[in-house]
């Protein structure tokens, strides 16, 4: 069983479109995250939710909107896609939002905006 899963794994779309990436974890964790890995492989956190409540919101354009329908799911919706949004997006989860907790990552979604 996959612990943290994301769909789709690959997403190719045109500039200006709206797209969503879904994430699910079956680890029973309370906290979920979205990270962006750019073309230079640099990983940066975008958002974090704890028990469906937004707890970390980095400086991300408001075209990006996370949604957590329940604590096992955290989806990422992106409006009006731009070329610079091309990246790999990782979902992760941890039991608690505290430093001690190890984060477990999904397989990533490679988004390509043409």
Partner 1 sequence: AQTVTQSQPEMSVQEAETVTLSCTYDTSESNYYLFWYKQPPSRQMILVIRQEAYKQQNATENRFSVNFQKAAKSFSLKISDSQLGDTAMYFCALRVTGANSKLTFGKGITLSVRP
- The minimum distance between CB 105 and partner 1, in angstroms, equals 4
Residue 13 in the binding site for partner 1 (CB under 8 A) = no
Stretch that binds partner 1, among 18-26, 38-46, 67-75, 77-85 (CB under 8 A): 38-46
- The minimum distance between CB 82 and partner 1, in angstroms, equals 22
Which of 92, 99, 97, 114 lies closest to 23, judged by CA? 92
In the block, residue with structure tokens 């469906």: 52
Nearer of residues 18 and 53 to partner 1, judged by Cβ:
53
Distance CA 61, CA 111 (A): 16
Nearer of residues 69 and 99 to partner 1, judged by Cβ:
99
Distance CA 48, CA 44 (A): 12
Cα dist from 105 to 16, 61, 98, 102, whole Å: 28, 23, 16, 10
Residue 90 in the binding site for partner 1 (CB under 8 A) = yes
Q: Which residues bind partner 1 (CB under 8 A)?
A: 33, 40-45, 48, 50, 55-56, 58, 88, 90, 92, 97-100, 102-105, 107-108, 110
């Amino acid at each position: 069983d996959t612990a943290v899963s994301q769909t789709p794994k690959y997403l190719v779309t045109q500039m200006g479109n709206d797209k969503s990436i879904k994430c699910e974890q079956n680890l029973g964790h309370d906290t979920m995250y979205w990270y962006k890995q750019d073309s230079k492989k640099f990983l940066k956190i975008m958002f974090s939710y704890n028990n469906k409540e937004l707890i970390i919101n980095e400086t991300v354009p408001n075209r990006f909107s996370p949604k957590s329908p329940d604590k096992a799911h955290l989806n990422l919706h992106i409006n009006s896609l731009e070329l610079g949004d091309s990246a790999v997006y990782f979902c992760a989860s941890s039991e608690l939002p505290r430093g001690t907790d190890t984060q477990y990552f999904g397989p990533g979604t490679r988004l390509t905006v043409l």
